[in-house]
Structure 1
């Protein structure tokens, strides 16, 4: 029996909620812990690295032991990490808590995709992933605004108190409603079997094309996430609350893109949806770059095109992910984990890069995003050629 869609949405939402709720508070954390912006940004970068590496383990583990036990363990670990952040006396303890939080939250991120692939064939899986990610996109829509408002009103610990309460509710709901979906015959090897699964996938030209496209398209978003708090609050003089509210534009676009993916992926197929989304994303980033070069240095000149970036990514990413996990259905967990690792690991590197690159201008941010968007389009075309 397929799990309730609301359960998949809930477990998927924990990761982006924990990621995005912190973003408006980063300058505030810099002041609270009397440290540098680059050090605070490590809480974002190391969170992403933890998510990336954990996916390499959790995906294959779920192929061997089942989706349900691995999912429940991840949700419990998320609560441990959130509590550690909430009680952290130093920036070092806070960063450690974020790492634990990232490992736990990625269980929902990677296993929700594998569960969908367990139950549905490829094009139908792309449609269902679109609906799941449309729902989970509500988290980054509300997360920055909630995080910014709570930070300004009660301090940086308040968002983590809310995250802990949400985590308890999600764990309880998962325990009560999530059934096992792993089918007999899926990978059950040990460590050697897990590594072998990655090797098999890495030798597949089809898988590599889909995974690299997913990595680069996601990299555009992570570049923006790593650079926009600095641009908004240090270059444009906005506050945490205002930054969070503007970030809702991007998330709203992503929700619309996910809706379109869920509505039309079955009709048009993953290849066409991926191409359309990538073209929209590249056009949006190019528009933001041109507005900046023309001297329009205002949040609206940034976030209006970024809304279209959200639409493009929302259309493209469900199809790239569905394509990647459908190459070898018997290795769906490993494929989901490896794809997610490439997405999040590359995103972590991009955020570190943006922290080092930004100075007195936002131009490096837009140039980086445009380069990644162009690469994502090229990789998407390669994926199209690979499956023909």
Structure 2
């Protein structure tokens, strides 16, 4: 893979994450500017996530049918159209429609970019290349709120979406001019466009990698949904202290992601095994401290251990899942992998909202349980060569 193509894929992968996190600081300004209730403006996050799920599920699959390049162009185009509609929205209805369109476009860009990485890389390089994309997706939530806040202060909330539309336009132009078609042709005997879904769902190897990622997401999203309340209500941290705590966890995930590629290049399969074991260890430590967790370090310290494990696990699980036996199904594999991850994350936040209690146990139990399950799946997997 050339550096030019690698940079383009990084830009495309970042669009979706930028679209959600840069918007967060603008929520009050959008409400005031459009004269809409706060609840309706917050729906802009929910609908964007819905667009991400639909876009991920459809984008990769259609890239198997018509090629990677057309779907990346279409995804970037949808992202630009959605952002432009938000920037010019005269009312909340147009704004929410723009958020759905933007989310679909960002998801297509992310999910097909992953498939392009697999198309262009050797099996032993795939995890390292995907780790680079994952690192950008992790960095965006850290930097995007700051960018969004600066843009709101400089020119109002509409400026955020104008800048996002400009970034999407750059990605669209670069994709059109510089990205070659990388998708494998469909096999001559393939008659049903929907055959990829049942085949992948019946593929034990693909489902094992996908389940490891999706179940790990339960523990991570459970922490994200509950930790803010614990840090404020149980430990009395102010917003700045809470932000620092989450930054420490994000840094641990990034550190694991950076290390993942190096391990997988030298010892394929080991990053997944040690990552899931580390994830489980952090959950068990938190569970052991939960009964006497008088300091926020009892929550954040173990979560940093699990976060490091998640950074090791994510790219290696994705690389394993996308190395399916049929190259023409890689886009669909990327779709299913991403959509199931988001669905499990949404389910985890919903369960946390229904059963949350102001104790560390409410976070530690799902984290430790998810960690033990994914470690079991990783360490009992048969050793099979990558496709």
TM range, normalised to the smaller chain? 0.7 to 0.9
Alpha-carbon distance in structure 2 between the residues aligned to 1:46 and 1:252: 28
SS at match of 2:181: coil
SS at match of 1:179: coil
Question: Residue in 2 aligned with 1:335?
Answer: 333
TM (normalized to structure 1)? Answer: 0.82
- Give structure 2 stretches of 5+ with no counterpart: none
Task: Give 1 or 2 for the bigger CA radius of gyration.
Answer: 2
Question: Residue in 2 aligned with 1:324?
Answer: 321
**Alignment: residue pair count:** 380
Alpha-carbon distance in structure 2 between the residues aligned to 1:237 and 1:40: 27
Question: Residue in 2 aligned with 1:67?
Answer: 68
- CA-to-aligned-CA distance 1:1-45 (integer Å, 9 cap, x gap): 656211111111122233344567779989995445xx7765545
Question: Residue in 1 aligned with 2:309?
Answer: 312
1:73-88 pair list within 5 angstroms: 73-86=74-87
Alpha-carbon distance in structure 2 between the residues aligned to 1:233 and 1:88: 36
Alpha-carbon distance in structure 2 between the residues aligned to 1:84 and 1:233: 37
In the alignment, is the contact (CA less than 8 A) between 1:74 and 1:106 conserved in 2?
yes
Kindly indicate whether structure 1 or structure 2 has the higher relative contact order, using CA contacts under 8 Å at least 6 residues apart.
Answer: 1
Structure 1 range deviating more: 87-96 or 198-207: 87-96
Alpha-carbon distance in structure 2 between the residues aligned to 1:158 and 1:296: 44
Give me the CA root mean square deviation: 3.5
1:170-181 pair list within 5 angstroms: 170-181=171-182
In the alignment, is the contact (CA less than 8 A) between 1:78 and 1:104 conserved in 2?
yes
- CA-to-aligned-CA distance 1:191-221 (integer Å, 9 cap, x gap): x32x211111111111111111111123333
SS at match of 2:133: helix
Question: How far 1:320 sits from its partner (Å)?
Answer: 0.9
- CA-to-aligned-CA distance 1:88-118 (integer Å, 9 cap, x gap): 6776665544332221111222112111111
In the alignment, is the contact (CA less than 8 A) between 1:281 and 1:312 conserved in 2?
yes
TM (normalized to structure 2)? Answer: 0.83
Alpha-carbon distance in structure 2 between the residues aligned to 1:364 and 1:155: 39
1:78-117 pair list within 5 angstroms: 78-86=79-87, 95-117=96-118
- CA-to-aligned-CA distance 1:358-378 (integer Å, 9 cap, x gap): 364564233333322332223
Question: Residue in 1 aligned with 2:285?
Answer: 287
Question: Residue in 2 aligned with 1:247?
Answer: 246
Q: Could you say if the C-alpha distance between residues 144 and 253 of structure 1 is closer, same or farther in structure 2, counting changes exceeding 3 Å? A: farther
